[in-house]
Structure 1
Amino acid sequence: MPTAPAAPAGESGAGPLPVRARPLLLAAVAVCAACGLVYELVLLTLSASLAGGGITQTSLIVAGFVAALGAGALLVKPFLGNAAAAFVAVETLLGVLGGLSAVTLYVAFSFYATSGPVLVLGTALLGMLVGAELPLLVTLLQTGRTDMDAQGSGRLLADLNAADYAGALVGGLVWPFVLLPAAGMIRGAALTGLVNLAAASVVAALLLRRWLTRRALATALVALLSAATLLGTLLLRARDIETDARQRLYADPIIVATRSAYQEIVVTRRGGDLRLYLDGDLQFSSADEHRYTESLVAPALARDPARVLVLGGGDGLAARELLRHPTVRQVVQVELDPQVITVARTTFARLNRGALDDPRVQVVVADAFRWLRGPPPEPFDAVVVDMPDPDTPALGRLYSQEFYGLVRAVLAPGGLLTVQAGSPYATPNGYWRTVSTVGAAGLATTPYHVDVPSFGDWGFVLATTDRTPPPLVLSARAAPARFLSPAMLTAAGVFPPDRAPRTLAPSTLDRPRIVDDLRSGYQR
């Protein structure tokens, strides 16, 4: 039969925890577990948002957090003799560090353009503190008991695990569905810290006072109150801190800043130049977007389509160019993020000429991959794929052989497809990987590239269901363009020796090679 731990220091005569108090302590276990999982999700969310965290970084954070749990469980062993005071100390530190984690990482990234060291340190500290909780709680529940046999220990462990896992489930659901969309990362983490501190305060005031001296209890409550005041101040000042930190990331004044369920959306303006950033990546500059947009759209109009599908392109610029073509009767615009559509219809309404409100445009808010897998629509004469660069696994699936196979299925015979494919100079493997992947989906391809000052040398892919690669030509009925001419488009198909074509294995759902291509290219 296991030996019961010694009574915690403080009131040595305190007996075991009353049976009626055990549900409250188990509830505290559930709350602490929920908060602990939220802290881990905060780290993962920030990793994705600030550094484009992929599989490797996500795996390192999860593995590091789990390893830190074990380290925390071992490091807390010397403090089990004073479990009550140690529990309050751990929860106070956890509430403060967890509550400040998001703002610390965000500010560090804005000042130093990196958050890696802070992310590693935060993972280690938060993991160790969360790992210390369960041994302390087991000690508190067993303290003073002499009737604990093997079955009793098993029941106690079952109760603790059930409360712990139930709390983790709640935390895992609350972060993506409640806290993140409603409060954002900084406020969401701070609110979680406050909940953590509140749970510790209840436990200290109602349960642990029998094991703590009055002085120790008063000290614990003052510490908890001070920590709560700090996080409360952060909640009140979060908007100012976030605004100041965000502005440091952008050279131009920010006029729109919002976080959707999918990404951070920022619009800057300097003079007449509007710029759109998604998760910190530039999507276009109004000073030269016509070069990009005309080059993406015009080749797809060479055969005078009537029905055109746009995948991505929620800024409405591709739709604007399509509507200028006299044969286009319908544009189906599929965009994942409704917040981008809102910005397009307001901030960019003048730039895109209200294209998304044109009666010829049907806006569909949906994931392009899932939409293509749905009931097959009437075939389209042309498809324009205007997706962000695939520097994350989520975006990599939209540059996969399977995705382009679905696109091919909705193209009418002889239909044309254009794809924005990144820079053949900055990320050559990523560019030629896209060309190879489109070809692997059964489409004949013609690569081409133009100069876009905001991006540099930028590449595209023109493809068709025909057996032969499509020529780079403009429709005889094309509307006048600011940049693209027949001669310019012909020249766009020529690649110099230092950017010579490459034949690469396709990127697939199973092997998203293009994600690594993009990241290694950026590092180079």
Structure 2
Amino acid sequence: MIYRPVPARLPVPAGLGRFVVLTTVFVCAACGLVYELELVALASYLIGDSVTQASVVLSVMVFAMGIGSLLAKRLRGRAALGFAAVEAALALIGGLSAMALHACFAWFGQARPALVGFSLAIGVLIGAEVPLLMTLIQRIRRQDAGGAVADLFAADYVGALVGGLAFPFLLLPVLGQLTGALLTGGVNAVAGGALVLWLFRGDLSVRTRWTLVAANGLVLTLLATCSALSGPFERAARHAVYGGDVRVAVQSGVQEVVLTGGGSSGKPLSLFLDGRLRVSSDDEFRYHEALVHPAMHGPHHRILVLGGGDGLAVRELLRYEDVASVTVV
């Protein structure tokens, strides 16, 4: 049996309706790529081995997108309602994914099962978007399948570009991982809900419209509440991971820097980069003394240090009074 979309009753001309649908495709594609990059970044940070984690996330999500595309075939008869439901679920799951992974790592010491689960769920929902949007755009104005696919994928790919650039240059450095994911979920929910409740409201009964309004309102309320609590949550998670003696915690544009111990705590001063212990005052001298002092037997008026960002190799070098200059790269 061949499914033929029934022309939609739109509140605007068909040309404007197509533009609204393609704009929604653009926004949803940007949100989807942000979720994907968020999972890759979090997995690399929490679990390590960035190549493996990126491979796991991308392969699971692409596989799940195929499943989502197949499942979406069952929703084509009620494409508008199906799309609204998919976007509400995607906004909630994608928006909360970063916080959930942090919680699993901090309190259970294991984030990989949650990583695979979220990659699978988000991939299924992203995969269901395009078939449903294809049905909706064909209901506005019939065109050949190749042309409709070209329009949809053009908007999808451009949106993915914007999302891919927004994550490292805007969301991560300005908002951080948790708030960035929650804000993305909010944008996703608004875009999906607005498209269906405005442009395709003629497909919905009054009861269904109010149900969608309530569902999207609940999703936005949960995301906003979690955003308001993200600060205390991060502090609690950091306490669970590093203990109660965190002295400095900074998220730079490229890594998270955490300094613990020292002072009156009686614990060694320790430097963590992206969750990994890099330097501890308990034993760092063994490495830096053995690195520096053998090389100082000979001329050492001007010294070049390649690496050494923690400054501890320089500390050993400056013990020599005849050192005139030290350049650290």
For the superposition of Structure 1 and Structure 2, which TM-score range results when normalised by the shorter chain? over 0.9
**Among residues 216, 232, 238, which one is paired with 2:230 in the alignment?**
238
Q: Quick check: 1:309–1:333 contact (8 Å CA) kept in 2? A: yes
Q: How does 1:132-151 map to 2 (within 5 A)?
A: 132-143=128-139, 148=142
Q: Is 1:82 matched up with 2:74?
A: no
Residue of structure 1 equivalent to 2:162: 170
> For structure 1, which segment, 55-64 or 253-262, has the greater mean C-alpha deviation from structure 2 after superposition?
55-64
Decide which structure has the larger Cα Rg and report it: 1
Q: Quick check: 1:4–1:142 contact (8 Å CA) kept in 2? A: no
Residue of structure 1 equivalent to 2:24: 28
Tell me the amino acid that sits aligned with residue 68 of structure 2. Answer: G
Q: How does 1:116-195 map to 2 (within 5 A)?
A: 116-143=112-139, 148=142, 152-195=144-187
Tell me the amino acid that sits aligned with residue 323 of structure 1. Answer: L
Tell me which protein shows more strand as a share of its residues.
1
Distance 1:135 1:105 in 2: 29
Determine helix, strand or coil for the equivalent of 1:267.
strand
Residue of structure 2 equivalent to 1:280: 275
**Among residues 277, 299, 307, which one is paired with 2:302 in the alignment?**
307
* 1:205 positional shift: 2.9
Distance 1:15 1:101 in 2: 35
Tell me the amino acid that sits aligned with residue 118 of structure 1. Answer: A
Q: Quick check: 2:10–2:200 contact (8 Å CA) kept in 1? A: no
User: How many aligned positions are there?
Assistant: 324
Distance 1:144 1:303, change over 3 A: closer
Q: Quick check: 1:26–1:163 contact (8 Å CA) kept in 2? A: yes
Q: Quick check: 2:33–2:163 contact (8 Å CA) kept in 1? A: yes
Higher relative contact order (CA 8 A, sep 6+): 2
Residue of structure 1 equivalent to 2:4: 4
Q: Quick check: 1:83–1:140 contact (8 Å CA) kept in 2? A: yes
* 1:48 positional shift: 0.8
Distance 1:3 1:90, change over 3 A: closer
Distance 2:306 2:289 in 1: 16
Residue of structure 2 equivalent to 1:196: 188
Residue of structure 2 equivalent to 1:297: 292
Tell me the amino acid that sits aligned with residue 231 of structure 1. Answer: L
Determine helix, strand or coil for the equivalent of 1:248.
helix
Q: Is 1:320 matched up with 2:315?
A: yes
Q: Quick check: 2:10–2:17 contact (8 Å CA) kept in 1? A: no
Q: How does 1:369-408 map to 2 (within 5 A)?
A: none
> For structure 1, which segment, 33-42 or 271-280, has the greater mean C-alpha deviation from structure 2 after superposition?
271-280
Tell me which protein shows more helix as a share of its residues.
2
Tell me the amino acid that sits aligned with residue 119 of structure 2. Answer: T
* 1:272 positional shift: 6.2
Tell me the amino acid that sits aligned with residue 136 of structure 1. Answer: L
Residue of structure 2 equivalent to 1:219: 211
TM-score of the superposed pair, with normalisation by structure 1: 0.59
Distance 1:128 1:272, change over 3 A: closer
Tell me the amino acid that sits aligned with residue 53 of structure 1. Answer: D
* 1:251 positional shift: 3.5
Identity %: 45
Determine helix, strand or coil for the equivalent of 1:39.
helix
Deviations, residues 340-373 of structure 1 (Å, cap 9, x unaligned): xxxxxxxxxxxxxxxxxxxxxxxxxxxxxxxxxx
TM-score of the superposed pair, with normalisation by structure 2: 0.93
Distance 1:232 1:179 in 2: 16
